[in-house]
């Protein structure tokens, strides 16, 4: 494999969720190039499954898209060292008003590998226990329940575009709903 060598990483902007850097990289042919890099502490998400097999989803406004989206509950880690399972449990309760003592790792995704290091650990939560939503001051979330088939229909109709949600639903379906007879 060819060798790449980062020569420099310069912080251009420090944000509340991401940090934007300009990297200087020596590429295998000897050229020196500038690449953008976005640093992210990571996140966690959860597929909350009700006793009747439905999945709790959150509908919320997303500023980047200027519209509402339908997603699995998720949120950033409280620091790069926080375990994903801890964050997933917190986001489950904060966003849906349910908690679970039964979180199982499902999949880990990297959202945009070309320029960002964001990693999202995704869990499945079962045996949901009613609690209370604890929304952030800028969060306005509606909780909705769907079957896996209804969610797949929304994915294939182009009604859901969120990558973590699509990956989670399809992985959940394959692992838990598509058992071969």
Q: Is residue 137 flagged as an active site residue?
A: yes
Of the chain, the percentage scoring pLDDT greater than 90 comes to 93
| pLDDT over 60 (residue 13) | yes
> Sorting pLDDT into bands at 50, 70 and 90, what band is 138?
confident
| pLDDT over 80 (residue 181) | no
**Annotated catalytic residue: which of 2, 91, 101, 137?**
137
Cα distance between residue 147 and residue 130, in whole Å? 19
Cα distance between residue 23 and residue 15, in whole Å? 17
The per-residue pLDDT for range 34-83, each reduced to its tens digit, is: 999 999 999 999 999 999 999 999 999 999 999 999 999 999 999 889 99
Single pTM value for the model: 0.94
**CATH class given for the domain over 41-177:** alpha beta
**Stretch 114-130: mean pLDDT:** 97
**Stretch 1-28: mean pLDDT:** 96
**Stretch 89-114: mean pLDDT:** 97
Nearest to 23 by CA among 42, 10, 39: 10
Question: Which residues are within 8 A (CB) of 48 and not within 5 positions of it... i.e. 6 or more apart?
Answer: 55, 56, 72, 73, 92, 96, 98, 100, 125, 128
């Amino acid at each position: 494999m060819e060798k790449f060598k980062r020569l420099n990483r310069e912080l251009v902007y420090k944000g509340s969720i991401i940090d934007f850097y300009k990297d200087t990289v020596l590429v295998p042919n000897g050229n020196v190039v500038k690449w953008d890099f976005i640093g992210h502490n990571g996140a966690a998400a959860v597929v909350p499954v009700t006793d009747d097999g439905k999945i709790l989803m959150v509908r919320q406004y997303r500023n980047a898209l200027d519209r509402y989206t339908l997603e699995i509950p998720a949120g950033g880690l409280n620091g790069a060292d926080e375990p994903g399972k801890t964050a997933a449990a917190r986001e489950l309760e904060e966003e849906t008003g349910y908690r679970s003592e039964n979180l199982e790792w499902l999949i880990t995704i990297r959202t945009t590998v070309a320029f960002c290091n964001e990693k999202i650990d995704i869990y499945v939560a079962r045996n949901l226990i009613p609690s209370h939503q604890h929304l952030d001051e800028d969060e306005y979330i509606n909780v909705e329940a769907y079957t896996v088939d209804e969610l797949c229909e929304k994915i294939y109709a182009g009604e859901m575009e969120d990558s973590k949600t699509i990956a989670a639903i399809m992985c959940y379906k394959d692992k838990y709903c598509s058992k071969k007879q």
